[in-house]
Amino acid sequence: MADAPQLVHPFFLLNDKFVGENQLGLRYDGGEELIYIMGSNGIAPRMESKEMLRMEIVKKKFGEIDGRDVTAYTVKGNSGFELTCLDYGCIITEICVPDRDGKTENVVLGFKDIDDYANHSPYFGAVVGRVAGRIKEGRFSLGGRDYTLAKNNDGNHLHGGDRGLDKVIWNVETKTEHDKAKLIFTYESPDGEEGYPGNVSIRTVYTVTGQNELMIEYFGTTDQKTILNMTNHTYFNLSGDLKSTVLEHSLQIDSDRFIELDNGLIPTGRLLEVEGTPFDFRKGRKIADGQSSSHPQNILAGKGYDHPFVLNGDKQPAIRVSCEESGRVLEVETNQPAVVLYTSNQLEGDFLINGSVKAEPYLALCLETQKHPDAINQPGFPSIVLEPDGEYYSYTKYTFKVE
């Protein structure tokens, strides 16, 4: 007599009811009929009319930095979606999703060693802030006082400074809720850190759902007037395991205007119309159009894009990326007024990405949802000022699909 087949999934949720197995076979609670499909590893339970839900979080040591352990957290779902991130910088090291043939591969850039994150500065997968983007000459005025921030980018302040939020170890709490898993990161940024005023309490929440969605939320409060404008700096490549660059990726952005940059990639304050330019992504276009463009703004960015696009705000998802090679699609929904598109034009260095791929331009694209860069020095831009009686909140949802 043949051995009894084993369930691929030892437990899952069905209509908020626990479903599992015992030593003799299957037991379950619920009012629906279960249908079993034979698979290579036995039988896998599947509901034809209802999606089965299962989430788990696994953690392990990733390395050490400054004498402290760095922990990696992996969220796994039975849809094939996996997210791995660190308590160091809330860095997303891997997002694994299936292609059109069901093959699961990594679609983001990262390092395999903590020292690479500490020693190199592409901001792979990290939360950046307190203020994302460049602040001209690292200076701003607020409440009648002048402030000077750390200058870490050709005399300007970039992504929170020398030791921004990407280079600190956050406290982490984990939660699972039926078809959701949450990683809740908290950090207390002290008054004067990198030159910023105020003691700021920051909470970053990563929520993974059984529908291949990743929600990133930021919350912040302060004890004195300050500025806060955070984003995530994940580099996406939907080909899977970096089989190709993103030059043939198609991108749509619901934006009629983009922000003009000067030669130092600082916003001039002018909003330019996308109509008739390589910056018109409203109906979709290839990333390669920016590489081959003679538009002055593409050239100063290093033959590509490193530009803020002002979102129209009347369409969600506001952004869509697709890879014909793999069939993968990424849709982005946000409450932020802008997105910085960076096509890794300057991605060069003596390091290996994902453990095996040499750094090269156009290997990925970043979609940095946020308020406009250098807003504190541009009166016409949305305010990034946070008051002691206010709360900062930002959300962006990434949904992965196939076509």
Whole-number Å distance between alpha carbons of 7 and 44: 6
Cβ-contact 247, 237 below 8 angstroms: no
Angle at 339 between CA 336 and CA 340, to 5 degrees: 145
The type of residue at 162 is D
The helix/strand/coil state of 131 is strand
Whole-number Å distance between alpha carbons of 67 and 43: 47
Q: Is the peptide bond before 130 cis (omega within 30 degrees of 0)?
A: yes
Whole-number Å distance between alpha carbons of 338 and 132: 12
Beta bridge partners of 12: 19
Q: Of 105, 307, 368, 372, which is the active-site residue?
A: 368
Residues 127, 130, 132, 138, CA torsion sign: negative
Q: Of 157, 159, 233, 249, which is the active-site residue?
A: 233
Alpha helices, DSSP H only, in 270-379?
A: 288-291, 296-300
CB neighbours of residue 53 within 10 Å: 21
Cβ-contact 109, 124 below 8 angstroms: yes
List % helix, strand, coil for the chain (3-state, nearest 5).
Answer: 5, 45, 45
Whole-number Å distance between alpha carbons of 376 and 143: 12
Active site residue 94: no
Active site residue 368: yes
The helix/strand/coil state of 118 is helix
The residues annotated as belonging to the active site are 233, 368
